[in-house]
Structure 1
């Protein structure tokens, strides 16, 4: 299973900046909702971050009518009035079923500790709590990310998915739709 397979709806960003939505359950009119919001089965040309944010928001609002089992770990939906941030205060990285985090401030380090992350000896990296399955790892990052947002901390999440082609090859997904990524890197999650 891939980390995108555990929730009804998973929103993420590939390393090349493409926003995607994966539907792991059939929803009535889902294809129409995603198409109306600008998502297609093929990659679109990159757009401004605000446009990606707005289009992803349209899709999410419509999908929330069908499920609340939705995860948004997309970097392209993190646009706020502060503009782009080249140095996020928190950086999460998914690799081979594990999650590591890097914190740049006392506040972000304390936040990671509150969510069960432990510091790796001799470095500024943190590990997710031990013994968690893939769904639980995604959920702990969602909680820490939401907590960071409430505290005004910038966050970047690397899902370990290089390009949309990596998603298209996964047979389990009922729908994997993509939308072009931003020209710049946003800093805050949209409000719902």
Structure 2
């Protein structure tokens, strides 16, 4: 199972700046909610991928994220590791203070500031070489994702610039749907309307 498949809703970013949402369980009205909020869709290896282009305006991204988080009325199993949405809020930096890189089932973390190192230590990451850290040993992929979510959220709450590299260069590189997942069936066409938002929700 790919790292994008363990949770009911997974929000991430590609290396080329697309924001994407995968709905891995059947959630009522998920398709209409996301499409109405401005996501475009593409069928890809047995799954529907909901996408925002890199040039999507900040206001449109905020409204789209409000729609994503409205799905939590149906499930709390939502993971958001999208660096594209956070860069808009904090100002993307050439070198993030805290970064995580997924690669073939492993994670490498990098801390370039003292506060970032403190965050990693509090989440049981251990230094390997220089500014590079490894997560706690023996974690399965789902627990590894959860550990990164907690550390990334902590860093963001502390005002750090954080980036998560999922190892997905483009939308075409999103992993194929797992055979064990239950995809959310689209529920018909939706009008291109946007729901009101009260600011970008954060996890």
**TM-score interval, smaller chain:** 0.7 to 0.9
Aligned to 1:86: 94
Conservation of the 8 A alpha-carbon contact between 1:21 and 1:176? no
Q: Which has the higher contact order (CA 8 A, sep 6+)?
A: 1
Which residue, 50, 53, 59 being the options, matches 2:58? Answer: 50
Conservation of the 8 A alpha-carbon contact between 1:11 and 1:19? yes
TM-score under structure 2 length normalisation = 0.79
> How far 1:139 sits from its partner (Å)?
0.5
Aligned to 1:143: 150
The answer to whether structure 1 residue 167 and structure 2 residue 163 are counterparts is no
> How far 1:163 sits from its partner (Å)?
1.4
TM-score under structure 1 length normalisation = 0.84
Q: Provide the C-alpha distance between the structure 2 equivalents of 1:63 and 1:4, rounded to a whole number of angstroms.
A: 17
Task: Report how many aligned residue pairs link the two structures.
Answer: 179
Q: Considering only aligned residues, what root-mean-square deviation do their CA atoms show, in Å?
A: 2.3
> How far 1:48 sits from its partner (Å)?
3.9
Unaligned runs of at least 5 residues, structure 2:
43-50, 187-199
> How far 1:168 sits from its partner (Å)?
6.6
**CA separation of 1:149 and 1:44: change in aligned 2, threshold 3 A:** closer
Greater radius of gyration (CA)? 2
Q: Provide the C-alpha distance between the structure 1 equivalents of 2:185 and 2:12, rounded to a whole number of angstroms.
A: 11
SS in 2 for 1:64: helix
Unaligned runs of at least 5 residues, structure 1:
178-189
The answer to whether structure 1 residue 114 and structure 2 residue 122 are counterparts is yes
The runs of at least 4 consecutive aligned structure 1 residues that moved more than 4 Å come to 79-82
